[in-house]
Structure 1
Amino acid sequence: MKDLESELFHYTSGRFLANEDLRLRERRRIFNIPGLFEIIAKARNCKTSEIVGFRKLAEGGLNRSFLVTLRDGFRLVVRIPYPILIPKAYAYASEVATMDFLRSKGLPIPEVYAYSYTPENEAGTEYMLIEYVEGIDLSQVWFNLEKKEIDSLMDQLAKLESIMMSIPFPAGGSIYYTTDLKQKGEPYLTSKPSLSHRRSVSAWALMYRYHSGMEKESKWTHSEFGSPRAPYRGFRRDCYNNEKQEPSDHTNNLRRYLLLAPSLVPDNDSLTAFCIRHPDLNLENIKVTTDSNGLQIRSVLDWQHAVVLPLFLHAGMPYDIQNEEDEVSRSMIRPKLPDDFDKLSQGEQIWEKQLLRRRLAHYNYILSTMVYNKAHHKGLAYPLGNFCRRIFNYATAPWEGETIKLQLALIEMVVGWDRFAKGGSTPCPVVIMLDEIDAAVKLGEELEIADENERMVRKYVGYGPETWVPAARYEKAVASGEEMKQKMLEVYSEDGGITDEKRALMMACWPLEAMDEVEFEEYL
């Protein structure tokens, strides 16, 4: 194979301020390009010589995409996962079946031409060959939309979600082709078996039956990999005295959750009906084009990790559209510019227009959902919905050295049991002692301060998740991070001095300092 250092195999979209070598290894994927061309030619019934263009298209959080151009002008996308995506087989096989199934229902989903969920093929990697969709990401025009465009897009989105969420399912879980489940490791390419077959998690018609994830997590924490570990987010380690945490604490909270979860299930059958929804409906995953009627949603991308759940667990506003922090949006007051808008400075007018856009998106999404997707609107209005989704996400998330979020949610439920007890007289099945409550609340408050400090550092330095920065800003970000670290050390010293031990602890927890991630890189 030629040039193993080619940018085709490596992450080049940015840099990382901490543990960069590991972050880049997680995203390094070498594959056989001639072998991949053979796969493309077979899928498109052409010769490899007809492939005249192959270039990197995008690099996401878990996958790298390439644009392929044929001599006749036809284009398609090849998507290849990073090593960090685990387990690839189930993730890829389920995503393909989900896309095909939803596309068969008339939803604007890219066509999958071929795929393999194992590296046992000519390319030596898992892959997906997907339809190339013309258009631009909605994020590219989002901040310049006019009111009528926002109105139209929210209507379109609500209608698409209504089609999607009205598809009935007998149970919950992930969608697969039965042939993929039977092959157990054999690559699957182009033949399409019936889409009527689904893999379901048996009999969890209600929230507390989402048992498989709980059992897997409990088994994992008791396995050889479930050893004590420090919290993954370094800035929070100071609140734990930089000590590793026991996985048994999280297992205990999972058991509590399973006892309490039945009380979170609504009595309304429409809220417990199983449905599917996009797992991450952000602006980058919505492709739009323009025609005589204005902006039109052309396609919805990236269905990795889509799952069938009860509606009340799927309900909620897309993160990029919701504006819950704003009182006007929470009150569902019709948005408008202030009466004295013409008297404001240019900067103030720009701010008010940005605020109006956020309020309009939030307001119109709710109204459009109310009109076109009544079932989802009912889920949005369910009083315990936000809490149910929050505690469910905490309970089903992988353990990364902390259980405090789940613990505090359980405490909230136990202390406020009257809100959750059906009939008002059912005794709470879980007892949490006062000293545990006090300790958890104190730790939660300390962690909030740590998180706020980390947000301050992030804003000052200008980095994103996993300390990512654009490559062009790397040197400047490194300097800014070092400057911020020295300022914080000075502040601590002025407040009464700082011991060598405290200094070492601060450095170990500094978010831009390299940290030990041996336990997180065993899969590489």
Structure 2
Amino acid sequence: MCDIGDQDDLFRYTSGRWLINEKYQLEQRFVKFNVNNLCSQAASLFGPKARCIRIAKMGGNFNKAFLLTMNDGNEVIAKIPCPNSGTPVLTTTSEVATLKFLRSRISIRVPEVYAWKSDPTNPVGAEYIIMEKIRGVPLAERWETMNTLERYQIIDRIVEMEKELLSLKFPAYGSLFLQDSLPSEYRRCPLPTDLDPTGLFYIGPSCSRAHKASFDISNSNIGPWTSILDFALSIPHRELALVANNREKVQHHLTHFSEDQSADEYCDLLQKVLLVLPALSRHPQVLARAGSTIWHTDLHLGNIYVSTDDPTTIEGVIDWQSAQAAPLFIQAQFPEFLRPPKDYSPGTEIPALPDNFDELDPDERVRATKEQTLAAQSKYYEMFCLAYNKPVYDAMELDRRLWEPFTCCQLFSHGSLVPLRNALIRLSQDWDLLGLPGRCPFEFTEEDIKRHNGQVQQYECAINTRE
């Protein structure tokens, strides 16, 4: 008999609390399923005499993850998506395809899929994936005790993995799927034979969590897209459709940040984005960095597994859910565990301690030393990309005024329009300097900018409080 413990505890999120809207947040992370049937399905993978004797809950913000142990010592990971994980059915289907595709195409190990169901009417009562448990331990358990050279060896290996990912050239933007895994109403784009000689995969609709609202509205405008302009235009169109269908909800979200924000202003800003995206999408620097690439965009220390004997040996990388083929200039970024501190300066300048370091109090010295160490690691990653993965370095160096309008349309969790408005103000002010054709199709008044600057202070305070 499997040692289950309190079943309700397996269904609930128990890793944290929320100060705001906690009931909703918990509902988005609650999944009820048949525990015994999940354990039986996992045990059946190892023969008729195998049985699951233990199920241990693991962390996860978008999924329930469990370590299942069999009576013969075998272990597997079972993963069940939460309501907030992405589009039902498609997110699981695409994750399976992505894992199967990458296993034979990059040298770092990704989990092998043993069994899966994307139809929640199966005996488990929920979508699930049963997959390989990657050997080793999370890098989070070793990072703090590793010396600088050992950490740099990990960074070397991550850059090598990203170089392998970059070599996979996709013909469209969207998510990976296995053949015959989608209903016929969804569009799909086959992969070239050099990338998929057996014809097992194709690019289908995007399963990015940002596109979930689009599926709630219709099956149109969700990809795949074969041009950067079509991909770009889908983003503001998706948000405009969301406002049209859920105006009251969107207004409530906006008001939560500031009473001065309105759904009308949000729509006006999105219309401005639609006006500038054609020019941005034709800009030579954007086009040069717009290749369709699959990337791991949540590369934190918990998703990298290393050897128990040698922490510089990466055993595997997990959590490829919602990975999609998207423009490189959107994908390429510092890995989460190497994200630089606020005052980081890109380029060849070596990060140093502040000039007044000796005058700081002990707590300030500790903080300054920690930030300098993080900045040095970020700098090593940046320079290693410059030397060995230049397209990624170039994508990260793209002027943010050119790429921000592609990424700021979605209404963020804080509910502020500041990032989107700020991107458009900067673009309108520097249109000629950026080499864009003609004149910017809109202007902001002095009163608009004054009001915006006041909200910037409120926004920065809110972000600092969250951090």
Amino acid at match of 1:289: S
Secondary structure of the residue aligned to 1:430 is coil
Question: Which structure 1 segments of 5+ residues have no match?
Answer: 186-192, 459-463, 465-524
Q: Report the Cα offset of residue 31 of structure 1.
A: 0.6
Question: Which structure 2 segments of 5+ residues have no match?
Answer: 187-197, 206-222
Which residues of 2 match residues 458-497 of structure 1 at below 5 A?
A: none
Structure 1 position 373 matched with structure 2 position 397: no
Secondary structure of the residue aligned to 1:354 is helix
**Aligned counterpart, 2:219:** none
Match for residue 410 of structure 1 among 415, 421, 424: 424
Structure 1 position 210 matched with structure 2 position 224: no
How many residue pairs are counted as aligned between the two chains?
A: 433
**Aligned counterpart, 2:291:** 273
Counterpart Cα distance in 1 of 2:372 and 2:461: 30
Q: Report the Cα offset of residue 207 of structure 1.
A: 4.4
Counterpart Cα distance in 2 of 1:343 and 1:253: 47
**Aligned counterpart, 1:259:** 275
Deviations 1:85-137 (A, max 9, x none): 34222222112211211112034211121222231100101111121112222
Amino acid at match of 1:287: Y
Q: Report the Cα offset of residue 369 of structure 1.
A: 1.1
**Aligned counterpart, 1:492:** none
**Aligned counterpart, 1:359:** 375
Greater relative contact order: 1 or 2 (C-alpha under 8 angstroms, separation 6 or more)? 1
Percentage of matched positions with identical amino acids? 26
Deviations 1:56-103 (A, max 9, x none): 122x22111111011221111111122333422222211221121111
Q: Report the Cα offset of residue 397 of structure 1.
A: 5.0
Match for residue 284 of structure 1 among 296, 299, 302: 302
Secondary structure of the residue aligned to 1:78 is strand
Counterpart Cα distance in 2 of 1:379 and 1:87: 29
Counterpart Cα distance in 2 of 1:254 and 1:343: 48
Counterpart Cα distance in 1 of 2:97 and 2:180: 11
Counterpart Cα distance in 2 of 1:3 and 1:345: 49
Counterpart Cα distance in 2 of 1:12 and 1:133: 24
Structure 1 position 70 matched with structure 2 position 70: yes
Secondary structure of the residue aligned to 2:135 is coil
Structure 1 position 432 matched with structure 2 position 453: no
Counterpart Cα distance in 2 of 1:254 and 1:118: 36
Counterpart Cα distance in 2 of 1:402 and 1:101: 38
Rg larger in 1 or in 2? 1
Deviations 1:245-303 (A, max 9, x none): 32x433333232122123323425642222111122222222222546x5122222211
- RMSD, aligned α-carbons: 3.3
**Aligned counterpart, 1:471:** none
Q: Report the Cα offset of residue 199 of structure 1.
A: 2.0
**Aligned counterpart, 1:198:** 203
- Please say if residues 177 and 194 of structure 1, whose CA atoms lie closer than 8 Å, have aligned partners that are also in contact: no
Amino acid at match of 1:276: I
Which residues of 2 match residues 38-437 of structure 1 at below 5 A?
A: 38-42=40-44, 44-47=45-48, 50-58=51-59, 60-106=60-106, 107-182=108-183, 194-199=199-204, 201-207=223-229, 209-223=231-245, 225-227=246-248, 229-232=250-253, 236-240=257-261, 245-246=262-263, 248-265=264-281, 266-267=283-284, 270-291=288-309, 294-323=311-340, 325-326=342-343, 329-335=345-351, 350-351=366-367, 353-382=369-398, 384=399, 386-396=400-410, 403-422=417-436, 426-428=437-439, 430-434=441-445
Q: Report the Cα offset of residue 160 of structure 1.
A: 0.6
Counterpart Cα distance in 2 of 1:8 and 1:290: 28
**Aligned counterpart, 1:36:** 38
**Aligned counterpart, 1:467:** none
